[in-house]
Structure 1
């Protein structure tokens, strides 16, 4: 009898130990994927310090940049009404996809970048493809900002120095701004950047209003081929293409649940600003407005607007470079002390990654004669999915896996239909945008319009 009691006691003890182990393992598994930066109370470098207001400012500073300056030209191609409808619709659409992205991030706090989201959706291959796409697109976007900075410096100096040298100077300044380890350290520059791009746009609108073209042609609608029309439409499409940074931004928030407030600020501001800027400039310049629009201003006004916008181009380029470096840095050192402590390896690797991000952007901008068209290809291949299409996959994945499988998808049929349409929209923009960009490159080579690398 005593032996039986001892056996039962031993079994009971083992069950308790087993249950404790399971509970501990469950606790560990629950905590390990949570929050990429973990508990920061004893960390030298604290990342989770951004308020939703700061995130909103950073989002605006990143998205409302040189892409704004191409919108009046898009309006000249398709006319006021189609361009304005497209701009407003895409603003609403981008707000909807931002909500799906933010909801996904809140359900999966371990997600730090599109690569992490790709792993959840599509496994290891998805992680590598979406991570690489983020780095590539950020590098091209940084290169675009470097070109805008070089154009501004060329206008201000009356082309007094070789364009490649100006590009190099601007790239060096971009590197210095990108070096701070946390996004919160860039916050005050973000405020200044937003202020400058607003004043730049206002100066451009005043300049066109004071100096309108007397023989300008204004059209409510303009008939064009599909190639021309879609090429023009891609300008507002990609003017909203900043969602690829949202996961990284939200990961450094004090309260990620407030991220939607930042998204509202972003989309309302951008939609109103884009609409007002494109309409005013187009109405006073007409169908001869150039891209960027500042080149259509009288020289004095163009110089003033470029000088004001220069700070925004600098900050946006630095933010894109910072994003590319941050994704790789966290991927290399995730959960190690090099992320949150002042180690020699951590700082040296961070500096190297920032340098590489800016260097790649510089080489692309200076050495690739068809760089502007390649930006269109990368935007079509990646931004079309990051800003639009992937949001549909986020919703379908979480509804199916977290809320009841196929039955949940059928029950929430409106959301399912919208998610599917979002995926199709992303696919259409991707395919059509890539086709248009490739066609432009082929035509440029055919017409001998392609320049040479590293030329002044």
Structure 2
């Protein structure tokens, strides 16, 4: 995208001065005669894809967060972050509707900050997507190892799961992944229910459960990052909305996602912590009695698999659309198009595998990448979106002053993103230093 995306106005009040249709300027244009059609998703299927991507292995760390700060502040934080993420999702959707040519955070970065903004936000999107794929690889590794009683080297489990993710991330459109995501959503829901039942059936003896606990900043913020990044899926929203039949319905999907995620997170975290206590493991399924562990991990496997496929698919699609936007290779079955797509899928999954099994401090780096980029994508950057459109599409500084409550909320959103970014970066760097000092860092490509 070499020029700023036109600000298409979806507001009926402005329709007469902007008579351009959405399809005239959106990412994929008019797809009437194309072989590969992208804009096929309903808002319900987008909701399913969002739930599959966000409500995944991240929820398994929530009970351990409650063990650090206590059940009351922990649950309040989960609810607050869910409401906050709903607001930022609304801002992202409104920005997308006003700028149909935006396909990913890189495109949005160009509108906000020019060429440098595009490269930084695009780089962060790809980096976080690849690390998130690696995180699902490790979740799959743990699940397979648990199911097989650790009979193979851990790296082999990761390799097996990586190949499966590669196969499922190969389709060119999200519509080909959406029906698989239904099974993935059901798997994580049922796995969570099995986990709660297992925790209740075999509660930890003499467990300690605290309403609230005091802790130092480092320990508290490490635990807080779990619920913060359990909602970290907004970086995919632009890409998903771009493949909707009616992008105007995107907020319905977002409401469905946030309502389900917040409710499920609260119930799961509270129940598992109440029965497992302060010694609950992360991931929390590992605190269950072995037969319940196997049941929960086995049922959750489809979700880990499809979520990983969605992440690697997103990383690949950013490059693919950037290379072939408005060309025949994007919408037709050309040799060049499929060769490039295959190469991107292989590279993104290969990088995820190498990082997950070859970097001993992968989990710390995942937290670092999430702090540097996902904190902005889910929370902070929405404030910039609102300020930009309120300024450029209305009456500049006068609009900011006139709509001061919304302006204040946008500024606070930016401040929240900055705080999470800075504090998260600090605790992850400190965690890396302490891990090396303590000698707890394992070797690369080890079992």
TM bucket normalised to smaller: over 0.9
Q: Secondary structure at the match of 1:286?
A: helix
Q: Counterpart in 1 of 2:170?
A: 179
1:33, distance to aligned residue in structure 2 (A): 7.4
Counterpart-to-counterpart distance in 2, 1:32 and 1:169:
41
Q: Counterpart in 2 of 1:246?
A: 237
Q: Counterpart in 2 of 1:412?
A: 403
1:360, distance to aligned residue in structure 2 (A): 0.5
Are 1:122 and 2:76 an aligned pair? no
8 A Cα contact 1:33 1:110, kept in partner: no
8 A Cα contact 1:88 1:271, kept in partner: yes
Q: Counterpart in 1 of 2:150?
A: 159
Q: Secondary structure at the match of 1:275?
A: helix
Kindly tell me the number of residue pairs found equivalent between the two proteins.
Answer: 431
Q: Secondary structure at the match of 2:205?
A: coil
1:348, distance to aligned residue in structure 2 (A): 1.0
TM-score by length of 1: 0.93
1:23-34 equivalences in 2 (<5 Å) = 34=25
* Residues 1:376 and 1:107: Cα distance change in structure 2 (over 3 Å): same
2:302 to 311, 314, 317: 311
The higher radius of gyration belongs to 1
Counterpart-to-counterpart distance in 2, 1:33 and 1:255:
14
8 A Cα contact 1:205 1:277, kept in partner: yes
Could you list the per-position Cα deviations for residues 232-265 of structure 1 after superposition, in whole angstroms to 9, with x for gaps in the alignment? 0110000000000000000000000000000000
* Residues 1:357 and 1:186: Cα distance change in structure 2 (over 3 Å): same
Could you list the per-position Cα deviations for residues 331-368 of structure 1 after superposition, in whole angstroms to 9, with x for gaps in the alignment? 01111000000001101111110111100100000100
Runs of 4+ in 1 over 3 A off after TM superposition: 26-33
Counterpart-to-counterpart distance in 2, 1:32 and 1:446:
56
Q: Counterpart in 2 of 1:104?
A: 95
8 A Cα contact 2:23 2:30, kept in partner: no
Are 1:447 and 2:427 an aligned pair? no
Counterpart-to-counterpart distance in 2, 1:330 and 1:28:
26
* Residues 1:172 and 1:292: Cα distance change in structure 2 (over 3 Å): same
Q: Secondary structure at the match of 2:339?
A: helix
Could you list the per-position Cα deviations for residues 391-449 of structure 1 after superposition, in whole angstroms to 9, with x for gaps in the alignment? 00000000000011010110000000000000000000000000000000000001111
TM-score by length of 2: 0.95
Contiguous gaps of at least 5 residues in structure 2: 1-16
Q: Counterpart in 2 of 1:286?
A: 277
Q: Counterpart in 2 of 1:370?
A: 361
Are 1:200 and 2:188 an aligned pair? no
Are 1:302 and 2:293 an aligned pair? yes
8 A Cα contact 1:33 1:109, kept in partner: no
8 A Cα contact 2:39 2:242, kept in partner: yes
1:32, distance to aligned residue in structure 2 (A): 9.7
Counterpart-to-counterpart distance in 2, 1:341 and 1:124:
29
Contiguous gaps of at least 5 residues in structure 1: 1-25
Q: Secondary structure at the match of 2:360?
A: coil
1:321 to 286, 309, 312: 312
Are 1:135 and 2:126 an aligned pair? yes
1:213, distance to aligned residue in structure 2 (A): 1.3
Could you list the per-position Cα deviations for residues 46-100 of structure 1 after superposition, in whole angstroms to 9, with x for gaps in the alignment? 0000000000000000000000000000000100001000000000000000000
1:257-276 equivalences in 2 (<5 Å) = 257-276=248-267
1:419-434 equivalences in 2 (<5 Å) = 419-434=410-425
1:29, distance to aligned residue in structure 2 (A): 9.9
Could you list the per-position Cα deviations for residues 114-167 of structure 1 after superposition, in whole angstroms to 9, with x for gaps in the alignment? 000000000000000000000000000000000000010000111111111111
8 A Cα contact 1:71 1:274, kept in partner: yes
Q: Secondary structure at the match of 2:351?
A: helix
